[in-house]
Chain A
Amino acid sequence: MQQPESVRPLTTERHHPTGDTHELRPRETEQGNPFTFTPQLIHLHKDHELFEDGDITRHMYLQDLYISEADDKPTLSVSEFACHISGCSAVFSTLEEYEHHYNSLHRHVCCSCRRSLPSARLLDIHIQEWHDSLFAILAQRQDMYQCLVEGCGQKFRTSKLRKDHLIRLHKYPPDFRFDKTKKDRGTRETKRQQQKDTAMEVADDVCESEGVCEVMCDVLSNQLEHGESMETHVSQEEARMAKSDSTEEHADLSAAAHGAGNTSTEATKPRYSYRVPTSVCFGHGSVRGFRGRRGRRK
């Protein structure tokens, strides 16, 4: 039910007398400025919900039920925080929880395969070993696989050798989650099939409304659940997506979809849009997921 409330817009630069019904004008004359705030006078009608509590107190008083000290302390509530990442429905009661969640699960994300790594270093290593074709070539001749332990510095010819090293010297468990090889990617676990795939749902919504191609939907639905950052899954499309040629293909598709779907500046600069296929990165390995352009952070 609509609340009877009226809001009168104010033209920004000069004050105008009442009765003017100027349209809201953005403050800047810049093209495509998305910020819409202007000061607004708010008139509240008698039955507005904002007035409910005060009205009740008034009538309790009229009916001789008023007492100055409230029976129960009214609940003053504090805003919750919510993760911004579309598809992640995590909610928190403190900022610390939010930060912890974000730093653990979203910060170091590979934009090629959307895997979340716990640190910048591991992310770098991951990108290098999984998505860098140059690495694959060099690795045939040199020791390229770095030890994962910071400060160790040793390099190995194969990932198996590195793994042995990690187990032997650094006492790592044999199934260390952040050292899967590409060949370790198993089939998608059934457990995850049953989980509510919010990323998929959101993707569907977006796809339906924006008319994005089906292949993109598949890509998005293959995204990992955030809690299972290191679990692998295999699909033919994903294997394809990792290669740069199909990347461009999909970039074109997405750009076309964007062009049809909306007129925002994102159509030409898909870098930061959720709807951009995950494998589009400008310069594989240089822009890393959410770390973007601002450089390394400790």
Chain B
Amino acid sequence: MWRLNKVRHKAAGRHGDSLEELKLKRREHERALRQARRDRQLVSKRLLLNEDEDQPEVTMDTNSGEQDVVSLFHKLQQTGSEREARLKALSKALRDPSAQLAFIKQENSMHLLVGFLTGSDATCRLQAVRCLHELSHSPHTNVAPACLPATPYLLTYLSGQSTKFTELCLYTLGNLCPESDVVKEKLLAQGIIPALANCIENQRHNLAVVEAVGFTLSQLLQAKDAAEKIIPMVLASSLPSHLLSVLTPDPDFGLAPAIECAWCLHYLTCSTEDNRVLLAHGALLKCSSLLVSLGAAVAEGNKEEGMELLICPLLRCVGNLLSSCPVEDLSTQVGDVHIVVALCALLQAYLQTQPALARESAWVLNNLTAYSSALCSALLTFNLVPGLIQLLPFSQGINTMILRALANIAHKKKEFCVQLAHLGLLSALCATLKMADQEMVTLSMDVLFMLVVSGPQVAEEFVRQSGLSLLEAIQYNSKGDIRRRATHLLEHHLLSYSVDTPCS
């Protein structure tokens, strides 16, 4: 299990790497992941370590590893004692990728393992599943599929009660899921979804197992065609309600199970625009209340390690569920208007350290304010607008989203426009209108229009802030729709404010 309070820090000195080299490796790894995502090939596997292990140790001597594996395999084919010890040795040897290859090349090697997996010796079963787990984690593409004969048994064992054993089965299955469409189809046919549903239901007090179920399910849900084949089955099962019930993190166990379940929910909500099933389960209510408490914790400075791993999928769930939620249900589904307070807290807290998270928070804010006068009003009442205005300089999607949210507020009623102008949005617009980003300029013009027509005092203030000369300059912009907006404002709404009248 991955308990974040035991986050493994890559110690300096391991394999002779300096801190700089480690940083470099991380950066390279990150780059590879980004490319994989662009290629729609972003897939990860997890390795469950032995109790006595602290870090995944891989022996450097591959030749002996291969030889070990082959000789162990031969010995295991003979009946006799010491099978447990040999299986344990085999599982250790199978950590090495070339040993993995060597093993599956041996004829009947998988048959042997399955035999132990289903045999009467419980310890041998455990060691056998450990071997399978190592194989499932292999970087070689033809190793993991070799484990397919074992899957029906792994699925059967999910209804068992042994924690460690069940965990290993789950992570092995989870590693096998993304291998290929063939593997996925087999697993689906063998009933992986009902098996996972039963497992999480029966073992819901065992958070290590719950975390493992969450991981395995998330692997299934990331499939490219998940929306057609997998997601409908998942939504029809009892899994959604179980996932939601796990979302509130257990203070003792940590965030990990909640993280896995939240990511499952994210994959469910983003793959389709029709989220009625999840809404009916109260998903929006649950996720948004959780965000409220997390946001409050963050605002107080209680940034628990790894919290953003949970906040990120929760934000996404709320954002996408909102876009499926009928307007009239909004108040019941969202519940607490303090969600806007939480979002602004998250925006401020993560702006410098995780701008992407800030951007996602701004996106959710847009979706919250699009339909709801109450939530717009809340932003004003809780005095959150000045803070939002201060974020308008930040690019890469942050300012455009925030300006959209502010525009949503202005769009509701004229009184809001007057308040927004009073809180400094007007002078902020005089700056955003000069930005290079055309989307910002166009949006700013639209917001300016709403503010200016809301009342004469706003128009006057704009003129006082040298707005007319700004608009006149904008009339020379190379983009026609920007020019037209400026002209329209000058000619229809600010005409009375010019001192000179042209003698045409």
Which residues of A come within 8 Å of B, CB atoms?
Answer: 6, 8, 10, 12, 15-18, 27-28, 30, 32-47, 50-68, 70-82, 84-87, 91, 95, 98, 102, 106-107, 202, 262, 264-266, 269, 271-274, 282-283, 286-287, 290-295, 297
Contact = CB atoms under 8 A, between A and B. Distances in A.
B33 A56 contact: yes
B487 A15 contact: no
Contact of A65 (B26, B222, B353): B26
B484 A264 contact: yes
A295 B484 CA distance: 23
A41 B322 contact: yes
Contacts of B434: 81-82, 84, 95, 98
A34 B484 contact: yes
Contacts of B501: 293
B40 A47 contact: yes
Interface in B237-263: 259, 263
Given A41-B370, A43-B320, A81 B435 contact: yes
Contacts, number: 273
Contacts of A30: 492
B121 interface: no
Contacts of A273: 475, 483
Contact of A50 (B309, B352, B359, B487): B359
B411 A18 contact: no
B173 interface: no
B400 to A, nearest CB: 9
A272 B490 contact: yes
A35 B445 CA distance: 8
Q: Is the interface of A mostly helix, strand, loop or mixed?
A: loop
B490 A274 contact: no
Interface residues of B, number: 110
B476 interface: yes
Interface in B205-252: 215, 222
A157 to B, nearest CB: 30
A122 to B, nearest CB: 18
B323 A42 contact: yes
B34 interface: yes
Contact of B436 (A34, A59, A91): A91
Contacts of B492: 30
B120 interface: no
A82 B435 contact: yes
A202 B478 CA distance: 8
Nearest to A54: B312
A215 to B, nearest CB: 21
Contacts of A46: 222, 267, 270-271
Contacts of A18: 324-327
Nearest to A53: B356
Contacts of B371: 10, 15, 39, 41
Contacts of B305: 68
A76 B354 CA distance: 9
Nearest to A16: B327
A44 B484 CA distance: 31
B370 A40 contact: yes
B166 interface: no
Contacts of A64: 2, 8, 47, 56
B351 A68 contact: no
A81 B432 CA distance: 8
Contacts of B484: 34, 264, 266
A67 B320 CA distance: 28
B336 interface: no
Given A59-B42, A64-B2, A82-B435, 10 more contacts: A18-B325, A18-B326, A38-B411, A42-B363, A50-B397, A51-B270, A65-B26, A84-B473, A265-B491, A293-B501
A295 B270 contact: no
B469 interface: yes
Given A17-B328, A293-B501, A295-B499, A274 B9 contact: no
Contacts of B498: 292-295
B476 A84 contact: yes
Contacts of A287: 500, 502
A3 to B, nearest CB: 12
**8 shortest interchain CB distances as A-B pairs:** A53-B356, A82-B436, A295-B499, A282-B504, A37-B446, A86-B478, A62-B44, A39-B370
Contacts of B440: 79
A248 B165 CA distance: 91
